[in-house]
Amino acid sequence: MQITLDINGEKKKIICNTGATLLTVLRKQGYFGAKFGGCENGECGACTILLDGNPINSCSILAAQCEGHQIETIESIGEHPQQGWRTTDGLHILQKTFIEVGAVQCGFCTPAMVLAAKSLLDKNSDPSVEQVREVLSGVLCRCTGYLKPVQAVLRAAALMRGESVPPIDLTEQSELLVDPSIDSSIHDLVEKQNHEILTKIMPRVVGIKDTPKKSQIGKSEIKVDAIKLVQGKPAFVSDYQIPNMLYAKVLFSPYAHARIKAIDTAKAKALSGVAAVLTYKDIPRVIYSTAGQSDPIPGPLDSFSLDDKVRFVGDRVAFVAAESPEIAEEALKLIEVEYEELPFILDPAQSMQEGAIQIHDEKEYVNFGETDATRNIAGKIRIDIGNVEEGYQEADYIFEEDYEVPKVQQAHIEPHVVLTYWDEDDRLVIKTSTQVPFHVRRILSPVLQLPMKRIRVIKPRIGGGFGGKQEVLIEDVAAHLTIATRRPVFYEYSRKDEFYSARSRHPMRVHMKTGVKKDGTITANEMVVLSDTGAYGCHGLTVTGNTGSKSMALYVGDGKYRKSPNIRFYADIVYTNTPPAGAYRGYGVPQGFWPLERHIEKITRELNLDSLEFRLKNAVRPGELHPFSTSWSEGREPRPEIIHTVGLEECVRQGKAAIGWDQKYKNPDWRNVPGKKHLKRGVGVAMVMQGTAIPYLDMGGASIKMNDDGSFNLLIGATDLGTGSDTVLGQMAAEILGVPLEDIIVYSSDTDFTPFDKGAYASSTTYISGTAVVKAAEVVAERIRIRAANMLNAQSGNNDLSDKQIVLHGRKAIAPDGRFVTQKDVGYNSLHHTNQEQIMGVGSYVSPVSPPPFAAQFAEVEVDIETGQIEVKKLVMAVDSGVIVNPVTASGQVEGGMIQALGYAVCEEMRYDSKGVPLEKDFNDYHIFRANEIPEMETIFVETYEPSHPFGVKAVAEIPMDGVAPAVGNAILDACGAEVLKNPATPQRIWEALNRK
Amino acid sequence: MDKIKEKKVIKAYYRPQTIEEATKLLAKTNLEIVPIGGGSFVARHQENIDAVVDLQGLGLNRIESKKDYFLVGATTTLQDLVTNHALPENLRNAAKRDFSYNIRQRKTIAGVIVEKPESSILLLALCALGSKIILLPSNNELDINHWLQSKSIPDKGQFIGYIKIPQNIQFEYESVSKTKEDKPLIAIAISKGQKNAKNVLLSSKNVIAKPITEDEENLKIAYSQLINSDFSPEYFIKTTNTLIQRINRKIK
């Protein structure tokens, strides 16, 4: 049919299918700002546009319905201020404030939030916080935790009203603002903090005294990719369209465990518009692991692209490529499969039982370490540090308890998505939303039977990953179909596919046993884990290893136990017939801290010890050996490692003041809510640590090239999945090269052009890739200084100036006497005038250590003791992540991480029915937090200087996931005495715990 | 083989300007033809639909206060309900609870009635208030509770025109959920009419506005009708009673 749509004030005649949604039509017309989040009923809101001024989901309206109405897309409201000779109004004020306050992370939902906010401000120039939260609540964001988007809208509103707003101080580092000893000021303090949260953009940074001032490090620069993302530019995989492109779909297994006895694709192939149907009979049988890790993969090889056996509901049966997604979908229905149903295992406790069905009986199975497919064991860990039994004998008390953590999903708003095609040189191009482009290339080479050099992997912007895209999950599907059809193939998961077939956090059952002396000294600590890896072993060993090695390293004990702690960590990682688990932000550590910190709280209460003092007394301290460094290194050879920086004490001091600990904890007066007998308040804490990269293994690389005008191309293999790592790495280069960040053009990642990098995982980018950037920048800086010295010597006619005397600062190469040449002079000189050369540097880095960040996380809750319903009122995180390169982007990581972790604490859980069918299949069933329900949050950075990094940094991205759930669990205990042993703390679990009291 | 592809595609879109015109279109017996308001459901679920009749041109998006009832047009959006201060606050809050802000801009009251979303607080509220569905063009009135429980659909050519919501009925609801915005695990509404007769209704997963009484046996039966419930029968019975007591205290 032909329709006329008024898009951004322009009447457009469009021919489309009658049933076409507005989203489909807009994207075909080139309006890529509206994104598709894979949802079925508009739950995510990424496709928001304005219809007659109101935000609506363009995926949930027929284009035909929009005739006669005004459509407004992100493309109409603002643009980059520099458009050559054409004058422009630049960005919309909302776009500017979103960028300024750090409200843009992955950027996938940013255009939607900007438009929703615009609809509000167009009608109401002075909205309340609640109104802003409400209007943003139609758009799901998994990155930001919504705090910064709310701040951006309020700031824009003030500017639009003509008011002056406080500047975002880009360089100020605030010192200690709160004196925790002043108990009486708590109510004022809370009020002040509430106010600050709405208006203050910079997080609190407790800096290191007497550190030299840097020009870039510690400066909240705007993100280098923010301007394009806030405009909704076509930056994501699904924004790329190629002529002659086919659409892929996968037939998923309806059974938890079955053998394919027969499969007939004739009818599907005969359907008009179907280009290919592939089954296990059509492609090479190559065993591999989908885990995106360095070589050798520390886990079993147990996966095929397609197999004659299916191992979970949602496992792959066949691939289809067709002219449209609808035809591909229809073709799936025409594939006739005869299954032989097999017994299946859903409960991990049954996996190792005698007589249990063997899930992996394929002859190609490749063991790693102590895997034993005959017993459904995907991994086994036995670590004894010191002498645990002796430690128990020395203890006055022994505490034991069982805990459980659920399977949860990363829920990045951009689903898994890939586009493959043969380029003009017959090389296979894989454009994919991945955290690990180089691992994708390496792992797929044998699977596709293509030499690695004939594969090019390009990573555009990523709409969130959180570990879910540290998996070679769907790239092979499109690639096989491109090989089969010779045509470009696009494949994108729906939200349902994500819940049925993508990876998730490993669920675990954990037994804790701890020996404690009367004085509160821990004499022995033991964690025994049963980890459910699902149907495949991807990441099972390393995730579970982290569960113990990162969490159980925190409490070594006091006195003689500091030098010789007694720690035991045993784990069995077992197969079940459920969707495989994998990498998820925190990588096993949140699973460790729920039982550990719940258990520690139990001990402090039963022994009537001070909760914070008990923890600090037993916690690891600077200069001590990382207790696991001699016994575990993600399945590789461990080497001893000293922990140099531990900011825990200051984190506790700051965090307890921010939450009002001394006034609230165990305080019966405060606990009661006036006028509401059924409500009880409580506060809780969890101390946590994480790691920073994987020592001796993961490598980051960078190259820097100088241009004529004194700008630089920074090419990195590291993958910014919305975290701001491109920006932070750019800042490091700018610091060394003495230029502003705007002179660094950052590009990531393309296996043909950017240096190798292991990818974005293990909290390693700022630390590992950052050091590589610094090394590359130092090479370039040296060449600039040499050339600048020569230029200045030539100018003066003397030869007395050495390159060692030259300082790079403010786009200049400056001699001690103040003479200088600009970097532009150097650029022109090097490329056009004298002894021409390309000034360029390459750097790479592997770390011998993994310095842990530390944090104290606090939660305040209100519990309805009659129904078990809980409301989390406030979250505080005081974190030692070393030196903070960019406080605004770093605080965005903490806020977003806390809200993700809050889902783990109270509502997120993936469950299966008795046949292994997922009960959660969309964001209606699987609730993730919306803007209008987030608690108050506060982030405090307690800086330490990590000596192993050129700028003293440690990791920040993963640690926020670790402590929220146990802090909430401990706060529930404080509020009403309910000991919830299994998270999430749902109303029923709290109610049951109350009844157990 | 192309038949399959054709089956998936809506072939015709109509936007009538009068009720008569709409009726005539919907009466076409040779087509699977459905009326749409906001279109939010049909846009994503087009299986077996040949044509759609968009009701946006009929002026059915108004809320009128009559002597003892509100007359709400079928294409009134949930956001219109939320922002209309003439409506009772409880009803406005109920309209806000089921769907997020963006979806409320398009989702219509009739759309919710037809779609019957799980755990809907709005449907619970409409039932508690004893609302009626008015079909056009016949102007036949149907009890909404009967509609929801019997899974009835209008005769060919008929469509929902208005919802009639009685005024002067006292009504309160309470619910329990994992978070403030997550869908309710259990929701209870109680209304009290002019004869002081109390009406207690339950909504939960796959149960919409089911009349219940407070006795344990009745609640056990109600529990047994829940599929894949997120809670135990003990929790359900205890919490349901708690919510009923809380509402009773408010309603007194």
Residues from chain A that touch B232, judged by Cβ atoms under 8 A, are 988, 992
User: pLDDT-based confidence at A54, cuts 50/70/90?
Assistant: very high
Q: Determine, for residues B176 and A866 on separate chains, whether the beta-carbon distance falls below 8 Å.
A: no
Q: What's the pLDDT tens digit per position in A73-87? A: 999 999 999 999 999
Q: Is A327 on the interface with B (CB under 8 A)?
A: yes
Contact B148, B120 (CB under 8 A): no
| Among A60, A330, A413, the residue to mutate for chain B (most B Cβ within 10 A) | A60
User: pLDDT-based confidence at A166, cuts 50/70/90?
Assistant: confident
Contact B188, B243 (CB under 8 A): yes
Q: Buried b / exposed e across A217-228, counting CB within 10 Å, b at 16+?
A: bbbbbbbbbbbb
Residues from chain B that touch A272, judged by Cβ atoms under 8 A, are 1-2, 5
Residues from chain B that touch A54, judged by Cβ atoms under 8 A, are 79, 105
Q: What's the pLDDT tens digit per position in A249-307? A: 999 999 999 999 999 999 999 999 999 999 999 999 999 999 999 999 999 999 999 99
Q: Is A88 on the interface with B (CB under 8 A)?
A: no
For residue A268, what is the nearest residue in chain B, using CA coordinates?
B1
Q: What's the pLDDT tens digit per position in A671-712? A: 999 999 999 999 999 999 999 888 888 899 999 999 999 999
Q: Determine, for residues A867 and B42 on separate chains, whether the beta-carbon distance falls below 8 Å.
A: no
DSSP for A959-984, please give it.
THHHHHHHHHHHHHHHHH-----BSS
What are B4's two structure tokens?
Answer: 């399959």
- What is the least distance, in Å, from the CA of B79 to any CA of chain A? 10
Q: Determine, for residues B9 and A18 on separate chains, whether the beta-carbon distance falls below 8 Å.
A: yes
- What is the least distance, in Å, from the CA of A48 to any CA of chain B? 8
Residues from chain B that touch A906, judged by Cβ atoms under 8 A, are 178-179
Distance CA A899, CA A905 (A): 9
pLDDT for position B6 = 43
Residues from chain B that touch A41, judged by Cβ atoms under 8 A, are 40-41, 44, 103
Alpha helices of A207-363 — where are they, by DSSP H?
226-230, 266-270, 325-334, 348-351
Contact A569, A381 (CB under 8 A): yes
Q: Determine, for residues B181 and A933 on separate chains, whether the beta-carbon distance falls below 8 Å.
A: yes
| Among B58, B100, B175, B205, the residue to mutate for chain A (most A Cβ within 10 A) | B100
* Token pair 């017309």 in the structure block, residue: A29
User: pLDDT-based confidence at A197, cuts 50/70/90?
Assistant: very low
Q: Buried b / exposed e across A156-166, counting CB within 10 Å, b at 16+?
A: bbbebeeeebe
Distance CA B42, CA B33 (A): 11
Chain A residues 216-275 within an 8 A CB cutoff of chain B:
270-273
- What is the least distance, in Å, from the CA of A724 to any CA of chain B? 28
Q: Is A135 on the interface with B (CB under 8 A)?
A: yes
Task: Report whether pLDDT(A236) > 60.
Answer: yes
- What is the least distance, in Å, from the CA of B210 to any CA of chain A? 21
User: Smallest Cβ distance to B56: which of A65, A273, A326?
Assistant: A65
User: Smallest Cβ distance to B13: which of A1, A988, A991?
Assistant: A1
Distance CA B248, CA B252 (A): 6
Task: Report whether pLDDT(A91) > 80.
Answer: yes
Q: Determine, for residues B105 and A137 on separate chains, whether the beta-carbon distance falls below 8 Å.
A: no
- What is the least distance, in Å, from the CA of A50 to any CA of chain B? 10
Q: Which of A132-146, A163-177, A506-520 has the lowest mean pLDDT?
A: A163-177
Distance CA A287, CA A476 (A): 13
Distance CA A50, CA A71 (A): 6
For residue A910, what is the nearest residue in chain B, using CA coordinates?
B230
Residues from chain A that touch B230, judged by Cβ atoms under 8 A, are 986, 988
For residue A273, what is the nearest residue in chain B, using CA coordinates?
B2
Query: What tens-digit pLDDT sequence spans chain B (252 residues)?
Result: 334 444 457 999 999 999 999 999 999 877 889 999 999 888 888 888 999 999 999 999 999 999 999 999 999 999 999 999 999 999 999 999 999 999 999 999 999 999 999 889 999 999 999 999 999 999 999 999 888 887 667 888 899 999 999 998 989 999 999 999 999 999 999 998 767 778 899 999 888 888 998 888 888 988 988 876 779 999 999 999 999 999 999 987
Helix (H), strand (E) at residue A787 = helix A770-796
Q: Is A40 on the interface with B (CB under 8 A)?
A: yes
Q: What is the mean pLDDT of residues A515-519?
A: 97
3-state secondary structure of A811: coil
Percent of chain A surpassing pLDDT 70: 97
Strand A567-575 to strand A522-534: parallel, antiparallel, or no bridges (unpaired)? parallel
- What is the least distance, in Å, from the CA of B204 to any CA of chain A? 13
Q: What is the mean pLDDT of residues A729-747?
A: 98
- What is the least distance, in Å, from the CA of A460 to any CA of chain B? 28
Q: Determine, for residues B178 and A927 on separate chains, whether the beta-carbon distance falls below 8 Å.
A: yes
User: pLDDT-based confidence at A346, cuts 50/70/90?
Assistant: very high
Distance CA B115, CA B190 (A): 23
pLDDT for position B193 = 78
pLDDT for position A199 = 47
Residues from chain A that touch B46, judged by Cβ atoms under 8 A, are 19
Task: Report whether pLDDT(A46) > 80.
Answer: yes
- Higher local confidence (pLDDT), A369 or A731: A731
Contacts of B93 (CB under 8 A, 6+ apart): none
pLDDT for position A2 = 96
Contact A654, A205 (CB under 8 A): no
User: Smallest Cβ distance to B44: which of A59, A134, A913?
Assistant: A59
Look up residue B137 and give its amino acid.
Answer: P
| Among A986, A989, A994, the residue to mutate for chain B (most B Cβ within 10 A) | A986
Q: What is the mean pLDDT of residues A607-631?
A: 96
Q: Is A933 on the interface with B (CB under 8 A)?
A: yes
User: Smallest Cβ distance to B44: which of A40, A56, A866?
Assistant: A40
User: Smallest Cβ distance to A137: which of B100, B118, B179?
Assistant: B100
pLDDT for position A28 = 94
3-state secondary structure of B43: coil
Q: Is A59 on the interface with B (CB under 8 A)?
A: yes
Q: Which of A190-194, A391-395, A426-430, A560-564 has the lowest mean pLDDT?
A: A190-194
Q: Determine, for residues A988 and B178 on separate chains, whether the beta-carbon distance falls below 8 Å.
A: no
Q: Determine, for residues A19 and B10 on separate chains, whether the beta-carbon distance falls below 8 Å.
A: yes
For residue B230, what is the nearest residue in chain A, using CA coordinates?
A988
* Token pair 């797929």 in the structure block, residue: A444
Residues from chain A that touch B101, judged by Cβ atoms under 8 A, are 55, 116, 134-138
Q: What is the mean pLDDT of residues A932-954?
A: 96
Q: What is the mean pLDDT of residues A585-593?
A: 98
User: Smallest Cβ distance to B11: which of A18, A136, A866?
Assistant: A18
Q: What's the pLDDT tens digit per position in A621-634? A: 999 999 999 888 77
Q: Is A56 on the interface with B (CB under 8 A)?
A: yes
Q: Determine, for residues A138 and B101 on separate chains, whether the beta-carbon distance falls below 8 Å.
A: yes
Q: Determine, for residues B12 and A65 on separate chains, whether the beta-carbon distance falls below 8 Å.
A: no
pLDDT for position A186 = 33
Contact A98, A230 (CB under 8 A): yes
pLDDT for position A639 = 87
Cβ neighbours around A794 below 10 Å, total = 12
pLDDT for position A185 = 34
